Structure 1
C-alpha cells in the first residue's frame, strides 16, 4: 500500500513510530479470557438483579 504522504512526512512518521516509547512489549491477546470475563460479569449482574428483585417484592 503506497502512502499519500510525501517522502519527508513519511520519514517523520516512521521516525516517530520507531521511537523507544512506541515499542512496548504486549502480551498476546487471549480471546477466551475476554469471553470468560464478559460472561462472568453478565452472569454476576444477572444474579444481582434477581436477588434485588426478590428483596424488593
Structure 2
C-alpha cells in the first residue's frame, strides 16, 4: 500500500516511529494465560458471593 503522505511528512512519521521511546519490547501475547486468569477471577468471585450469602442469610 502506498502512502498518501507527501515524502517530507512520511519522513517525519518514520523518524517519530523509530525514536527509542516508541520501541518497547513486549512479551508475546498468551491467550491461555488470559483465559486462566478470567476463569480464576470468575470462580473466586463466585465463591466469595456464596460465602457472603451464607453469612447474610
TM-score (structure 2 length as normaliser)? 0.87
- The aligned residue for residue 42 of structure 2 is 42
d(CA) in 2 for partners of 1:2, 1:23: 23
Structure 1 gap ranges (5+): none
**Number of aligned residue pairs:** 57
Structural RMSD (CA): 1.1
d(CA) in 2 for partners of 1:50, 1:4: 58
TM-score (structure 1 length as normaliser)? 0.87
d(CA) in 1 for partners of 2:19, 2:6: 20
Structure 2 gap ranges (5+): none
d(CA) in 2 for partners of 1:47, 1:2: 55
- The aligned residue for residue 16 of structure 1 is 16
